Amino acid sequence: MEIWQKSLKQSLTGAAELAERFGIDPAPLQGVIERYPMRITPHYLGLIEKVGDPIWRQCVPDPAELDENEMADDPLNEENLAPSPAIVHRYPDRVLLLASGSCAVYCRFCTRKRKVGCAAMNLSFGEVMAGIDYIAATPQIKDVILSGGDPLLLPDILLKEILERLRRIPHVEILRIGSRVPVTLPERITEGLCALLRRFSPFYLNTHFNHPRELTPEAAEACGRLADAGVVLGNQTVLLRGVNDDPATMEALLRGLLRLRVRPYYLHHMDLARGTGHFRTRIETGIALLEALRGSLSGMAIPHYVIDTPGGRGKIPIVPAYLEELGDSALLRTPGGERIAFPNAL
């Protein structure tokens, strides 16, 4: 058993263990865990400084998850966009291949919390192979994103088999993985894994840092190994109330990501998933964050703020209105608030 697998086995999964460690009542948590499982790795648990802090909010069950509301279990309509159990085919040229049903840490804001870590997500290896057969039979697919769950919880031998089969498909040009293990289980990023991923260049990995306290030395080392192996690193952050919804926190996160050789890619507005409403912000909050960052941060550090529209209609970028009028002259507003006329006539 590898070190990362031993760490995973030592993860905290029960309300009693959590309550004993932090001196809280386990009863309010137990009902949440019965519906939405909990797993917190030793590394991520060690980042919690106090009850209710930004790390706690991301990984510890909250009774608010059981609040009844009008949000959907499957807000992105993935179940109806699944021609095969392991495939989500939402865009013409790219698909998600759901290669794993579990994660190192079960994030409380997860869009797929209805199934990740539950029996509903226990895909067989045969179903994953059937998903690859679907990709091979669909020539318009150029881009495959391994998702789940977290694909990097697969042992190297299974991950190798999946990637080799995908790379043999002539029309597949891009391979990507979405993984939070650089944040939650950085010891998983071994030299052996990096040597494996190096074989499939060009290869892209989008990870998921949400708060600057997650930018630990261990995470930096994991990202460094991946970058040195030629893996192109991006980051997808979710805008979370009480975690990263203020300019100072977001700026520290984005600056820190660039230091780790990770390019900020998306800032996701919260999906309308049942059990996550206590994390939602207003859209104006995200726009105000971008306006606060524009001009004070390099453009390389500023992600695309997007809403993944309900029903699986795709992502829509949300941007501040810097273009105020357009005719033979454009009236532009600078990040500092100054209005400038820019000629537009030929």
CATH of the domain at 254: 3.20.20.70
Annotated catalytic, 103? yes
Residue 175: inside a domain: yes
Q: How far apart are the first and last CA of the chain?
A: 68
Domain holding 91, by residue range, is 67-321
Residue 191: inside a domain: yes
Give the tokens for residue 292: 């606060």
Per-residue model confidence (pLDDT) at position 282: 96
The sign of the torsion formed by the CA atoms of 24, 25, 26, 32 equals: negative
Q: Which of 39, 106, 110, 150 is catalytic?
A: 110
Residue 100: inside a domain: yes
Q: CA distances (Å), 169 to each of 136, 231, 269, 301, in order?
A: 6, 20, 34, 34
Annotated catalytic, 156? no
CA-to-CA distance for 199 and 195, rounded, in angstroms?
A: 7
Q: Which of 36, 39, 59, 103 is catalytic?
A: 103
Residues of the chain with pLDDT under 50: none
Q: CA distances (Å), 71 to each of 76, 171, 279, 311, in order?
A: 11, 37, 13, 12
194 is in an annotated binding site: no
Tens digits of per-residue pLDDT, 51-83? 999 999 999 999 999 987 778 889 999 999 999
CA-to-CA distance for 266 and 322, rounded, in angstroms?
A: 20
Of 179, 214, 206, the C-alpha closest to 55 is 214
Residue 341: inside a domain: no
Structural domain tally of the chain? 1
Angle at 55 between CA 8 and CA 228, to 5 degrees: 60
Residue 331: inside a domain: no
Of 1, 13, 14, the C-alpha closest to 41 is 13
223 is in an annotated binding site: no
Tens digits of per-residue pLDDT, 183-241? 999 999 999 999 999 999 999 999 999 999 999 999 999 999 999 999 999 999 999 99
Residue 285: inside a domain: yes
Annotated catalytic, 90? yes
Q: Which of 107, 176, 225, 280 is catalytic?
A: 107
Residue 52: inside a domain: no
Per-residue model confidence (pLDDT) at position 70: 76
Q: Which of 53, 94, 133, 294 is catalytic?
A: 94
Annotated catalytic, 274? no
Beta strand 203-207 with 232-238 is parallel
Enter the DSSP assignment of 301: G
Annotated catalytic, 282? no
Per-residue model confidence (pLDDT) at position 295: 82
CA-to-CA distance for 50 and 13, rounded, in angstroms?
A: 18
Find the helix or strand (DSSP H, E) in which 307 lies.
strand 304-309
Residue 28: inside a domain: no
